Amino acid sequence: MEKALSTAGVYVERTLALIKPDAIDKAGEIEEIILRSGFTIIQKRKVCLSPEVCSDIYAAHYGKMFFPSLTAFMSSGTSVAMVIARDQAIAYWNELIGPANSVKARETHPVSLRALYGTDDLRNAVHGSGTFSAAEKEIRIIFPDASIDPIPSSQSAISYLNKYVIPTLLSGLTELCKKKPTGPITWLADWLIANNLNKPNICEDFLDKP
């Protein structure tokens, strides 16, 4: 996963959010909090994770005493998996979910998701990717067809349209008004294909050389 260029306001990040089996009945409430916190839910699905998949997601904890209990718990019921996005998504999501131990979270981060919906350090309601590489890996495990490239911000998209798309489209519409063809939509489509200023120039002589 490429690091988002948040300081320039160009890209937003994607990360994985899991609502664990112990909080599945509160999934709607948690999703509302996610949206109110400035995230966009890109993809969502209910999953019953196998112990093997749980082991892959929590591979960083392999060998620790709680690892068997963690994988058994995570594979014990239905979870909700989401790809969520915003600027600095990984940092903001981990701030929103709070410390891993829900008891401590209620003391230090009382409005965090783990404080509100978790029970202890195992049944702590939600999971979040800790790093860029972890987010990339975990998204690919649960959403193998998902795109994980940074998403252009709205301002970046507007700038691109203003620079590369709108000038060509306006020229085509101007010509359309002048010509007044009988099939305006088809005519405009053909004109845009033939007059696309952003189409790369290909040197046929070069391609023909042996």
Q: What is the pTM of this model?
A: 0.67
Q: Which residues does the annotation mark as catalytic?
A: 127
Determine the Cα–Cα distance for residues 130 and 127; give it in Å rounded to an integer. Answer: 9
Q: Which of 14-28, 47-61, 134-148 has the lowest mean pLDDT?
A: 134-148
The model's pLDDT over 158-173, given as tens digits with 9 standing for 90+, comes to 776 777 678 888 888 8
**Per-residue pLDDT for 1 more than 50?**
no
pLDDT for the residue numbered 10: 44
pLDDT for the residue numbered 6: 41
Q: Residue ranges per domain, the chain?
A: 6-152, 155-199
Q: What is the mean pLDDT of residues 184-198?
A: 82
Spell out the alpha helix ranges (H) of the chain.
Answer: 27-36, 51-57, 67-74, 89-97, 102-108, 113-117, 132-142, 154-160, 166-179, 184-194, 204-208
CATH top class, domain 155-199: mainly alpha
CATH top class, domain 6-152: alpha beta
